[in-house]
Amino acid sequence: SVIERIEDVEQNIGAYIHLDFDAALRQAEDVDRHIAEGCELPLLGGLPIAIKDNMCTEGVTTTCASRILANFVPPYDATVVRRLKERQAVILGKLNMDEFAMGSSTETSAFKKTKNPWDTDRVPGGSSGGSAAAVAADEAFFTLGSDTGGSIRQPASLCGVVGMKPTYGAVSRYGLVAFASSLDQIGPLTKDVKDCAMVLNAIVGHDPYDATSVSRSYSDYTSALVDDVKGIKIGVPKEFFGQGINEEVKSAVIKAIELFKEMGADYEETSLPYTDHALSAYYLIASAEASSNLGRYDGVKYGYRAAQYDDMIDMYKKTRSEGFGSEVKRRIMLGTYALSSGYYDAYYLKALKVRTLITRDFQRAFEKYDVLVVPTSPTTAFKIGERMDNPMEMYLSDVCTVPVNIAGLPAISIPCGLDSRGLPIGLQIIGKAFDEETILRVAYAFE
Ligand code: GLN
């Protein structure tokens, strides 16, 4: 039925970069055989799902929506993919995204534009726009996305689905094509909070292949779904409700907070004073790390190589000029500049100091509160093309999500109503490091 659904709607949505129904049906037959043999099916067994195209899939192209990786077929699975395969989830294909996950609208993809299923003149958000649109349009039961500065939560918000960025270190990044390694995290996009808890159960855990993966015990997240928020202390940081946040978004989130109070939680306005600097720090740190990580695309080891060149340097130059899109080039230039001697102290080092201040803001808040509740995105879905000639305006889409990555914290986005155009609004719940449970508990009670 999901294949039929994809055949019906995919030409209008464009969520997928790669679809392979034959491979999916083969996986489904394996599941059938497993059942016929009397074996018990793991929890996600047989569910048709899809993966953002920046996670390695053995034998299946992994392009990052970039010309430079258009022909890249990884010889191994990312740890998250392996874990889902072990649970016999059926992988339908790979999902569209902003090139190298740089963007907030999925428009920087080298291959196609993905449309928002709620209004196909609008963007699905980004960079995991394909992941969010596929779930919203019923083209997959759930999907995986990656979140460096909001790329799971913002598209989830714009497409009216649930999206969670786990604590940094909770989910292995092995096999995730690196954008900004100190910020990147993989997480689920799902139809509801319960699905989110179940997928999270499958993907979290220590992985010796990722040196930043944290070895600790991870609980069963479904046990957090108790439908009760009595005694929960909610902080409402005023910096997330200021200028630039759409009035309808603000009032939907405030209404949700009132509802939590009616259900027995307590809330209080608070302040995270360094929030205003989060976006500047993020774009310096993320671009600096990206400029270093993307140095590997030199046309030698894998991916695209220019057809004609004079010598080695010319080959590098032409390969990278032809292979990368303009947003990726902008980040590489910005990052290289910020890391260069003479500017390192003024930009990169300063940004790292601001990162510490932002982290401390959150630590102080979490001495008092169990969760923070804020909007996910300052606006609902915007028109395709609307922000493409203005990178600053595009970067502002992330103002409510980047502080969370900077501090390495977990956060979820859940739908909390529609605006006057009928477009979904997202509510963001931010928690303490490794306290995904409380986030899920609060989110589930709201749903
Ligand atoms: N939109 C942000 C950026 O362009 C965040 C992207 C992401 O989380 N991958 O960097």
Distance CA 409, CA 397 (A): 19
Distances (CA, A) of 101 to 52, 127, 202, 333: 10, 5, 23, 16
Q: What's the pLDDT at 221?
A: 98
**Eight-state DSSP code of residue 422:** S
Domain membership of residue 365 as a residue range: 2-279+349-446
Written in H, E and C, the secondary structure of 247-259 is HHHHHHHHHHHHH
- Say if CB 53 and CB 74 are below 8 A apart: no
pLDDT of residue 243: 86
pTM: 0.98
**Structural domain contains residue 302:** no
Torsion of CA 87, 92, 97, 101, to 10 degrees: 30
What is the distance in A from the centroid of ligand 1 to the CA of 424?
Answer: 20
Q: Is residue 412 part of a domain?
A: yes
Question: Does 262 fall in a domain?
Answer: yes
Say if 137 falls within a structural domain. yes
- φ/ψ (deg, to 5) at 267: -135, 160
Report helix, strand or coil for 415. Answer: strand
Residue where the block lists tokens 């604590």: 167
Residue of 52, 115, 165, 432 marked catalytic: 52
Q: Are 139 and 13 in contact (CB under 8 A)?
A: yes
- State yes or no: cis peptide before 127, omega within 30 of 0: yes
Q: Would 263 be classed as within a structural domain?
A: yes
Rounded Cα distance between 278 and 288, Å, is 15
Which of 66, 102, 377 most suits a substitution to test ligand 1, by most atoms within 8 Å of the C-beta?
102
β-bridge mates for residue 188, sequence order: 144
Burial-class residue 215 by CB neighbours within 10 Å (0-12, 13-18, 19+). exposed
Residue with tokens 């976006």: 279
Stretches in the chain below the pLDDT threshold 70:
none
313 lies in some domain: no
Number of domains in the chain: 1
Place of tokens 């509740």: 373
Q: Tell me which residue of 387, 294, 382, 384 sits closest to 66, measured CA to CA.
A: 294
Active site residue 52: yes
DSSP classification of residue 407: T
Atom of ligand 1 nearest to the CA of 151: 8
Provide the token pair at 185: 């995290």
CATH number of the domain that residue 45 is part of:
3.90.1300.10
Question: Is 315 within a domain?
Answer: no
Candidate list 105, 146, 151, 213, residue with the active-site label: 151
Distance of alpha carbon 37 from alpha carbon 40, whole angstroms: 9
User: Is 324 within a domain?
Assistant: no
Indicate which residue of 127, 157, 397, 413 is catalytic: 127
Residue 151 is a catalytic residue = yes
Active site residue 128: no
For ligand 1, the distance from its centroid to the CA atom of residue 133, given in whole angstroms, is 17
The predicted pLDDT at position 311 comes to 97
pLDDT of residue 355: 98
pLDDT of residue 105: 98
Pocket of ligand 1 from Cβ distances under 6 Å: 101-104, 127, 147-151, 179, 286, 398
Q: Whose CA is nearest to atom 10 of ligand 1?
A: 102
